[in-house]
């Protein structure tokens, strides 16, 4: 059952960004603004994709908790996404440092962001995923 059943209006958002186009765009814009601020503060940023070997919500929660416990970056943005091709859940991280942590039971891919942090943040928070 949705946490909020009210209709979305300009001064009173519904907050259901998975279903509401307006709320999804606002969420995406806020993430992009934060990424832009991060880029101004730290310069070049990195995108890391952490994919658990087991495609389960509990695994994503475990990985996110492990990342937060290790505090490997001073600041960052994260999102959980379900891949478009294979519907495989993964954690996206935008950080000032490359992800060099090891987390059991998952694959980690890190690369420098070659476009803008704004575009990358908008991509990892898109409504379709």
Structure letter (DSSP) for residue 12: B
Task: Please report the pLDDT score of residue 72 as a whole number.
Answer: 64
Give the C-alpha separation, 73 to 86, whole Å: 29
pLDDT at 1 over 50: no
Mean per-residue pLDDT over the chain, rounded? 85
- Residue 53, both tokens: 């070997």
Does this model's pTM top 0.85? My answer is no
Count H helices and E strands in the chain, helices first. Answer: 3, 4
Tokens 């509990």 locate to 58
pLDDT at 129 over 70: no
* Among 38-42, 53-57, 107-111, the least confident range: 53-57
Q: Specify whether the CB–CB gap between 2 and 16 falls below 8 A.
A: yes
Summarised one tens digit per residue, pLDDT across range 4-52 is: 566 787 777 787 777 888 888 988 999 999 999 999 999 999 999 999 9
Give the C-alpha separation, 129 to 125, whole Å: 7
């Amino acid at each position: 059952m949705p946490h909020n059943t009210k209709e979305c209006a300009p001064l009173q958002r519904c907050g259901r960004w998975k279903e509401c186009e307006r709320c999804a765009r606002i969420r995406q814009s806020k993430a992009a603004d934060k990424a832009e601020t991060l880029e101004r503060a730290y310069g070049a940023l990195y995108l890391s994709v952490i994919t658990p070997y087991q495609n389960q919500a509990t695994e994503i929660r475990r990985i996110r908790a492990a990342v937060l416990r290790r505090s490997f970056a001073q600041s960052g943005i994260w999102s959980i996404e379900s891949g478009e091709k294979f519907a495989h859940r993964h954690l996206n991280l935008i950080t000032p440092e490359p992800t060099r942590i090891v987390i059991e039971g998952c694959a980690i891919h890190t690369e420098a962001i070659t476009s803008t942090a704004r575009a990358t943040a908008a991509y990892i928070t898109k409504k379709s995923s």
